[in-house]
Amino acid sequence: MAKDHSCDLILSCGPRATYDTGATVLSPQGVRIGYRLRGMEQVVRAIEDVKRAVDLGVRGILVYDEGLLDS
């Protein structure tokens, strides 16, 4: 649809700590986690998100986690 309307589509990849099952992100120290990934399993899932998006033709990916950016 974006291509048909000459628009750019930018997706962010996840999962992210704010949507995770733990409550760490709600603690005073955990607030610094923000949109960072927690653990290698989440890094792998985020990479899979990027692969699916690229397969669909998405050319812009927003990365919140510097560890994922380094992967």
Instruction: Compute the mean pLDDT over every residue in the chain, rounded to the nearest whole number.
Output: 80
> For residue 5, is it within any domain?
no
Q: Is 7 helix (H, G, I), strand (E, B) or coil?
A: coil
Is residue 2 one of the residues assigned to a domain?
A: no
Split into its structural domains, the chain has a count of 1
pLDDT recorded at residue 18: 64
- What percent of the chain clears pLDDT 90, i.e. is strictly above it? 8
pLDDT of 21 higher than 80: no
- pLDDT at residue 48 in the model: 92
User: Quick check: is 4 in a domain?
Assistant: no
Does residue 41 fall inside a structural domain? yes
Write down the pLDDT at residue 19. 66
C-alpha–C-alpha distance, residues 55 and 61, integer Å: 13
Range 24-29 average pLDDT: 74
Q: What is the pLDDT of residues 41-64, one digit of tens each?
A: 888 888 999 999 888 888 899 888
Q: Which domain holds residue 56?
A: 10-70
How far apart are the C-alpha atoms of 67 and 59, rounded to whole Å?
Answer: 20
2 to 5, 9, 55, 64: CA distances (angstroms): 5, 6, 15, 23
Token pair 């949507």: residue: 19
CA distance 64 to 69: 8
